[in-house]
Amino acid sequence: MIVQIGKKVGVFALSLLGASILIFLITNALPGSVAYVILGTDATPEAVAVLEAQLGLDRPLPIQYLEWIWGVLSGHLGVSPLSGDHVADLLSERVGITAWLVVLGILGSILIALPLGMIAALRRTKWSGFVISSLAQVGMSIPVFWGGIILALVFAVLLRWLPANGYVPLLEDPLAWLRHMILPVTTLALVQSAVLIRYVRSAFIEVLNEDYYRTARAIGWTPLRALFRHGVRNAAIALVTVIGLQLSSSLVGAIVVEKVFNLHGLGRLLLDKVSERDLVVVQSTVMLLVLAVLLINLLVDLSYAVIDPRQRGKRK
Amino acid sequence: MSKTGGELRILSRSHKQLRTFKSIIAAAVVFSIGLTGCGTPTPSGSSTTTPNKLVIGATLEPANMDPFHNTAASIPQVLLYNVYETLVKLDSDGQLRGLLARSWDVSPNRKEYTFFLDPAAKFASGAPIDANAVVANITRMQDDPRLTETLRQQLEVVDSAVVVDATHVRIELKRPSMMWLYEMSSTLGMIVDPTVTDITTQSAGSGPYVVKAHRKGQSVILEKNEAYWDTPARFDEVTFRYYDDPNAMNASMLTGDLDIISNLQAPDALPQFSDTQRFTVTKGTTNGEIVLGLNHHNEALAKLEVRQALTKAIDKNALLDTVWNGQGTVIGSMSVPTDPWYEDLSHVNSYDPEGAKALLKAAGYETGLKLRFRVPVVPYALKSAQFVASQLRDIGVETVVEELEFSRWIPEVLTNGDYDMTIVAHVEARDLGKFADENYYWHYGAPEFVRLYNDADQAESAQSVVFMRDAARFLADDAAAIWLFVLPSLIVTKANVIGVPENMTSLSFDLTSVTSR
Amino acid sequence: MKRLQLHIGLVLVLLVILAGLLSLFWTPFDPIQVTSYNKLLAPGWPNLLGTDGMGIDIASRLLVGARYCLIVGVISVGLAALVGVPLGMLAGLRSGWVDELVMRISDVVYAFPALLLAMLFAAAFGASTMTAMTAIGIATVPAFARVARAGTVQVAASDFVLAARAAGTSKWGIAVRHVFPNIAPLVGVQASVGFAMAILAEAALSYLGLGTPRVTPTWGGMLRDAQDVWFIQPIQALWPGMAIALAVMGFNLLGDGLRDILDPRLRELK
């Protein structure tokens, strides 16, 4: 068991290393691009050289890479050459909104998808099941931003029930925070739940074909009771996998949702910095997001063992 | 917002860029000036408007609160007249009047200005604004090696500043300059409390408001200066909230989160604020000329016939209708209706596609002309470019449209001049002097124009207006650029908010007259 | 009902293809020419779906948009398949460190969602259709590699491959003659699903302003334009939004339907 965990953590660390190299190579693919962005394309080679020396860009790439990684590990992410902001400050200011969005979005999507997916599984031969599956199919096809704009139009502009955009910190005014989070979180949750419903449905259909479920039904349990008693635990494995995947796609969805609802989270930070081509901030922000994705994958992997004793020592 | 910050800083790194940039930044700022004001006490969107708080929406966030080392127009938008005051001020009609100075005298040779300070004037700290403070400000800027290039150029004409007595300051110029006094109504003239060393962390002005907080990425909050020396501020707290999507700002206004949209950035959205029970729309003008810049280093564009042909090929009235919903003014030269020397020059080289074709033929380009049309990614430029490209196609001029983020547009087009045609708003006040600079990105600087402009700047004021008009007319006749239109000031307020300035004649979003019922 | 989704998917996909092809020869109006006095017309005649803020016929732009949608899908999915499938087959046929290396790299790339990778590319190389397609393509490589590897491992263990190997056929020969034809349908399913994802990702990028320039009629770009008049003419956002949703649904359903036919046992899964 310990060996298994150790191996998984090792793979995680290797993936992290690979990802960091990939990010670094892409952002440094064009030689001296940061200096050129700062100085303009008519900059003299001398001026570029001076600035690159100032910024430490004239040193070999592997050294720069190691320095960046060392910074990442020790929490010193450097200073943006374009704006002078400390990258670590920027990230810590912004991470909260995105985290709330993703966590609440996932919770919301589970709340929507679990019951609907179960119904779709139980009634898979009936119209209601078909309708749910079809709706899920439609939901999967809708661009996140389109959904967000429609929700804002209906609930903020037409009905004026909720603010159309913006953010208030939780500690400053909890009620206002809630009101501002409802639309973005709902947008994310709805779109994510469309995908989730399909997985939940499949997972439960599998359970429905298992012997223990048939036995429970045979001794007179209602379908729901039987499902809850046996199904949930057995479907959990599949669900954990899917939720792991969902978390990473929610992270991406959050970027778009932040744009639609004018929320200043990590996604908006990334978007702004990409437009400015502030590569120093971009590389650390992307690294943070990828770290989150990989960490989620690791946790999902590890949680198999906890959820399903049968899996202990069995999975590679 | 942070975007502008980035752009501006890019500017501040490069001398050459800085020199040329103020107006561009201003362009960015016009954008930022889409201030939306909200009268809601909390941003929660609840509709309980308390009369002593105001929320204004804007589109570009200032990077910091230091206008002396950053040319971003989003900084004076918040600070000028609201937090920092100047000796003289531009009012909504474009007229200069006293602010910290009750009046001023000009010597007969127009090189000595004596300002009579208001004895009541004092900083928020309580220190009086006397002649020493004014002189200290001028010498501080003269000695500041990091001062922005724009300010340095404006300051260059000043020879010395002398304390006459506590309320008299005499400023001597190296040569007469009408423009200098105008500039003194803007950032150049902001009087800062000399005892404050770092104005990025501490506000050091004498205006009716002081900076309470700058929440990066979200808002700047001003609060009432309790010690204000003149008519007290009407609001206890004013928030400038920043949006980079004009539609998000409109949505906030519609839901009641904002009290004011300082400048509507999507004029097609105007009809949604037509309910006069809820909203008031104040239409005015700005200093933002949208210039279709022509690179005079291009062989074809160096020819007058070609420039005239391109000007005649574009129906500016139709463009304004399509691109900016008919809001704004068609001008014809580098001058706006609030300039004292303004005249409508839109009839010069007016829309005439057949005439345009004839001119092209005369210039030897009847078989076609291909131009690189590189525009920054801002709404007015993208839409205008689409329209212009379409109309130039009709006279046989092919354009290759390329969209550049501002951060690329600045080094490549503005600094490097790597383009044939481009579009950007020049939002600085009275900025036709830019055409006198041969190194500016248009590479214009016709000697005749330079002479007209310098004469105008140095003449006494009545004569100066006449000369300036001649200079503007010369630009139009010479088709130095193509002036598409002046950006309108479209301020949307809640119906209970009154007193917003009609015209945006300065970079300030002037709060001093705004009040709510 | 078993074939229903396949049929719906096929119809939708064919519609998109037909619209894209049609736009090469004919559109009701010029999809680029600005007509100054016709802006923001409501749906009617002759502008069936109305005109946009620049007075351009929306139906015409929608047709051309189908073409760009297909181009983006074909190029990014094509890139992903061309790189991913051979890599997956290599990993499947040569187990051991090659397999481990390929799959580890694939895992690393898999940690980059397409949109994130596209933003990274846009920052480094500038935003354009080409960078968007390349990034989406690269982000989709791991999916193809996994499918190809899984299929290859299965096929490689089958009797006929063992027989071929015993008969002395080279590894290359086996890969080309036996493995590829057998995994091709699986790759087809993946391509269809990948296509749907690519359309969504490109639309999001265009909406964020990091994709195709505005003058080019793309569905994502049309949605961004429609936002300017969202509160006045919400219907403007309906058409491109529906076009994206229907195209994505078409490719998803087609993929699902194909999967069902290929492997009835998997019908209820995924």
Q: Which residue has the higher pLDDT, C126 or B189?
A: B189
Name the DSSP class of A152.
I
Nearest CA in chain B to C33: B390
The pLDDT tens digits along chain C (270 residues) read: 567 888 999 999 999 999 999 988 888 888 877 776 677 788 888 888 888 888 888 999 999 999 999 999 999 999 999 999 999 999 988 878 888 888 888 888 888 888 899 988 888 887 788 889 999 999 999 999 999 998 888 888 888 888 888 888 887 888 888 888 888 888 999 999 999 999 999 899 888 888 777 778 889 888 888 877 777 788 888 899 999 999 999 999 999 888 878 765 444 333
Which among C200, C203, C230 has CB closest to A149?
C230
Which among A137, A199, A252 has CB closest to C116?
A252
Residue B49: name the closest of B231, B226, B237 by CA. Answer: B237
Q: Do B322 and C230 touch (CB under 8 A)?
A: no
The tens digit of pLDDT for each residue in C200-247 reads: 998 998 888 887 777 788 898 888 888 777 777 888 888 999 999 999
The tens digit of pLDDT for each residue in B27-80 reads: 444 443 333 333 333 343 334 445 589 999 998 788 788 888 877 788 899 999
- A83: Cβ–Cβ under 8 A, 6 or more apart, which residues? A276, A278, A281, B2, B5, B6, B9, B63
For residues B87 and B137, give the distance between their C-alpha atoms in angstroms, rounded to a whole number: 12
Which among C111, C196, C270 has CB closest to A293?
C111
Note which residues in 20-59 of chain A have CB less than 8 A from chain C: 22-23, 26-27, 29-30, 33
The confidence score (pLDDT) of residue B346 equals 92
Predicted confidence band at A40 (pLDDT cuts at 50, 70, 90)? low
The position carrying tokens 């943070």 is A288
Which among B14, B218, B251 has CB closest to A40?
B14
Largest Cα–Cα distance of chain B, in whole Å? 72
Q: Which residue has the higher pLDDT, A4 or B359?
A: B359
Q: Does B393 touch chain C (CB under 8 A)?
A: yes
Contact criterion met (CB below 8 Å) for B495 and B280: yes
Q: Does C41 touch chain A (CB under 8 A)?
A: no
For residue C123, the chain A residues in CB contact (below 8 A) are 27, 273-274, 277-279, 282
**Type and span of the H or E element at B161:** strand B158-165
The confidence score (pLDDT) of residue C238 equals 86
A106 burial class (0-12, 13-18, 19+ CB within 10 angstroms)? buried
For residues B140 and B154, give the distance between their C-alpha atoms in angstroms, rounded to a whole number: 14
State phi, psi for A87 to the nearest 5 degrees.
Answer: -60, -40
**Type and span of the H or E element at B221:** strand B219-224
Residue B469: pLDDT over 90: yes
Name the DSSP class of C41.
P
For residue A196, the chain C residues in CB contact (below 8 A) are none
Note which residues in 222-251 of chain C have CB less than 8 A from chain A: 223, 227, 230-231, 234, 237, 241, 244-246, 248-249
For residues B219 and B58, give the distance between their C-alpha atoms in angstroms, rounded to a whole number: 9
Nearest CA in chain C to A209: C268
Chain B: give the shortest CA distance to residue C229, in Å.
6
Q: Do B247 and C32 touch (CB under 8 A)?
A: no
DSSP for B105-130, written as a single string: EE-TTS-EEEEEE-TT-B-TTS-B--
Contact criterion met (CB below 8 Å) for B150 and B15: no
Nearest CA in chain C to A242: C270
Q: What is the mean pLDDT of residues B163-184?
A: 91
CA atoms lying within 13 Å on the CB side of residue A154: 7
- B505: Cβ–Cβ under 8 A, 6 or more apart, which residues? B90, B91, B92, B93, B94, B286, B287, B338, B429
The confidence score (pLDDT) of residue A304 equals 74
Note which residues in 63-122 of chain C have CB less than 8 A from chain A: 104-105, 107-109, 111-116, 119-122
Nearest CA in chain A to C266: A202
Q: Do B217 and A37 touch (CB under 8 A)?
A: no
In order of A159, A168, B233, B424, B486, the CA distances from B403 in angstroms are: 37, 35, 44, 12, 22
The confidence score (pLDDT) of residue A35 equals 66
Contact criterion met (CB below 8 Å) for A269 and A94: yes
Contact criterion met (CB below 8 Å) for A179 and A165: no
The position carrying tokens 């506000």 is B203
The amino acid present at B264, given as its one-letter code, is L
Q: Do C112 and A130 touch (CB under 8 A)?
A: no
In order of A41, B416, B418, C120, the CA distances from B412 in angstroms are: 6, 5, 6, 22
Q: Do A276 and B6 touch (CB under 8 A)?
A: yes
Contact criterion met (CB below 8 Å) for C89 and C149: yes
Contact criterion met (CB below 8 Å) for B406 and B274: no
Q: Does B41 touch chain A (CB under 8 A)?
A: no
Q: Do B377 and C209 touch (CB under 8 A)?
A: yes
- B226: Cβ–Cβ under 8 A, 6 or more apart, which residues? none
Q: Do A156 and B10 touch (CB under 8 A)?
A: no
The position carrying tokens 């932040």 is A258
Which of C7, C100, C108 to mutate to test binding with chain A, by most A CBs within 10 Å of its CB?
C108
Which among A27, A130, A289 has CB closest to C124?
A27
Which tokens sit at A243?
């939720």
Neighbours of A306 (CB within 10 A): 10
Nearest CA in chain C to A203: C269
For residue C5, the chain A residues in CB contact (below 8 A) are 137
Does the structure's ipTM exceed the value 0.95? no
For residue B405, the chain A residues in CB contact (below 8 A) are 275-277
Question: Which 3 state secondary structure label does DSSP give B207?
Answer: coil
Q: Which residue has the higher pLDDT, B295 or B254?
A: B295
Q: What is the mean pLDDT of residues A118-144?
A: 86
In order of A23, A26, A56, A98, A282, the CA distances from A78 in angstroms are: 16, 18, 12, 22, 12
